[in-house]
Amino acid sequence: MNIKFRLTILSFLQFFVWGAWLISIGGYLGGVLHFKGSEIGGVFSTLGIASLISPAIMGIIADRWINAEKVLGACHLIGAALLIAASKVTDPGTFYWIMLFNSLFYMPTIALANTVSYNVLTQKGFDVVKVFPPIRSWGTVGFILAMWIVDLTGWKANNMQLIFSAASAICLGLYSFSMPACPPSKAIKSNSFLSSVGLDAIVLFKQKKMAIFFVFAMLLGAALQITNAFGGSFLGSFKSTYPDSFVVKHEILTLSISQISETLFILAIPFFLKKFGIKQVMLMSIFAWVLRFGLFGIGNPGSGLPFLLLSMIVYGMAFDFFNISGSLFVENEAPKNFRGSAQGLFMFMTNGLGAFIGGKGSGWIVDYYTKTNETTKEIISRDWQSIWFVFAAYALVLGIVFPLIFKYKHNRDTQVTVTH
């Protein structure tokens, strides 16, 4: 079998496993198991906790002792067992801990899958920069297809989404073991754990510009998982007023428009970066988050449907523009000897610390605007409009403050190169 095709399958399954539950689990936890907003937010905060810890640990293991494809396969098989265990749990505390351990084994696999692809392509003599992006794009296709399957089968409303994800993870785990060997490199033994997570680049906080950037990366990172956690529950809340709406019946499929938008906006990033520069593209991302949340606040499946759809579309700009422009800013501004660790610090602040804060904080906001039956724990009412407006106001404050204190001049002569 063609090696590029085999790596495409690897990328497809890598994100298929995640798409099977990430967007739909919030609706199941809140609507069926009656978890509080803070408990749902807690589940999503596990992604941030895991991003702080396990990618570096698993990366060190793959770099020093065990083949990367074997570490990848083992992580997915362990994750599958944890997903099956989670499918049998209805207690919020137990569910949280199981999903925390699942995240600790899943989050490293994103980097490990990339490592396997890079190594195999290099072994076979391919140009990685040219060949890998099309392979990686199939990961997004896998994520979206998994969302559609979970929606159309009705598994979004029960624990089958977790079982389905577990079955996919088992297939991927076994498949990973069949990949060409990616043996450990013996040349990097001097690298420390702190270097692996980017924390030896903490000295960059001595520079005002870098310190401001990393703080904003953390604050904006708090917005990344909010709509993943509560978007399905929000659209499902219109069931009583718009029972026949396609959006209500297929809320996960509707939310997949956001992922489709993400893939399209990636293609537009080189133009925007060249035309407006890194700082302005970051600012566009922040105000896109204002629109993402604000349009949810005024939208509905009836007359407000265009607002909901527009919110899905701007998600691509909100998510991609800051992640990629921020990464390029770090690449341009960090000293050469700190660039790798600085990128690690950027991911630490956004997908780690920021995502953790966002998961916890968003859950508290949702609970504040929710009334529940103390006996049955069922939701009596939830003021979604106020919830989304609070999130929009948060992003708006960031958007106003960011250009005032973050000083960065765009050089139009700088060549912009974007790979994804």
Q: What CATH number corresponds to the domain at position 234?
A: 1.20.1250.20
Looking at the fold, whether 111 and 199 belong to one and the same domain comes out as no
Looking at the fold, whether 224 and 328 belong to one and the same domain comes out as yes
pTM of the model: 0.89
| pLDDT of 171 | 98
Looking at the fold, whether 163 and 205 belong to one and the same domain comes out as no
Specify the 3-state DSSP secondary structure of 420.
coil
In this structure, of 12-16, 234-238, 274-278, 292-296, the range with the lowest mean pLDDT score is: 274-278
More reliable by pLDDT, 77 or 53: 77
Q: What is the mean pLDDT of residues 44-48?
A: 96
Looking at the fold, whether 77 and 212 belong to one and the same domain comes out as no
Q: What is the mean pLDDT of residues 70-84?
A: 98
| pLDDT of 419 | 42
Q: What is the mean pLDDT of residues 349-366?
A: 94
Looking at the fold, whether 217 and 173 belong to one and the same domain comes out as no
Has residue 190 got a pLDDT over 60?
no
CA angle 167, 359, 27 (to 5 degrees): 50
Looking at the fold, whether 85 and 3 belong to one and the same domain comes out as yes
pLDDT band at 177 (very low <50, low <70, confident <90, very high): very high
Has residue 198 got a pLDDT over 70?
no
Q: What is the mean pLDDT of residues 358-380?
A: 90
Q: Which of 143, 162, 190 is the last residue of a domain?
A: 190
Q: What is the mean pLDDT of residues 316-332?
A: 88
| pLDDT of 1 | 66
Percent of the chain clearing pLDDT 90 (strictly above):
72
Looking at the fold, whether 138 and 200 belong to one and the same domain comes out as no
Has residue 420 got a pLDDT over 70?
no
Dihedral angle sign, alpha carbons of residues 235, 236, 237, 243: positive
Q: What is the mean pLDDT of residues 30-43?
A: 95
Q: Which of 170, 190, 210 is the last residue of a domain?
A: 190
Gap between the Cα atoms of 183 and 306, Å rounded: 51
Q: What is the mean pLDDT of residues 274-299?
A: 95
More reliable by pLDDT, 288 or 330: 288
- Residue-range definition of the domain harbouring residue 84: 1-190
Task: Say which residue the tokens 């399954």 belong to.
Answer: 13
Q: What is the mean pLDDT of residues 295-318?
A: 96
Specify the 3-state DSSP secondary structure of 157.
helix
pLDDT band at 398 (very low <50, low <70, confident <90, very high): very high
Decide if 347 contacts 218 (C-beta within 8 A): no
Supply the mean pLDDT for the chain: 90
Looking at the fold, whether 93 and 140 belong to one and the same domain comes out as yes
Looking at the fold, whether 158 and 234 belong to one and the same domain comes out as no
Decide if 234 contacts 391 (C-beta within 8 A): no
pLDDT band at 415 (very low <50, low <70, confident <90, very high): very low
Looking at the fold, whether 33 and 180 belong to one and the same domain comes out as yes
| pLDDT of 317 | 95
| pLDDT of 335 | 83
Any residues with CB less than 8 A from the CB of 134 and at least 6 apart, and which?
none
| pLDDT of 417 | 46
| pLDDT of 418 | 47
| pLDDT of 348 | 86
Has residue 84 got a pLDDT over 70?
yes
Gap between the Cα atoms of 406 and 86, Å rounded: 43
Looking at the fold, whether 79 and 218 belong to one and the same domain comes out as no
Any residues with CB less than 8 A from the CB of 231 and at least 6 apart, and which?
23, 26, 251, 255, 296
Backbone φ and ψ of 370, nearest 5°: -120, 135
Q: What is the mean pLDDT of residues 131-157?
A: 95
Has residue 416 got a pLDDT over 50?
no
Q: Which of 155, 190, 225 is the last residue of a domain?
A: 190
| pLDDT of 376 | 78
| pLDDT of 199 | 62
More reliable by pLDDT, 179 or 378: 179
The three-state (H, E, C) secondary structure of 13-28, written as one string: HHHHHHHCCCCCHHHH
Burial of 1 from C-beta contacts in 10 A (0-12 / 13-18 / 19+):
exposed
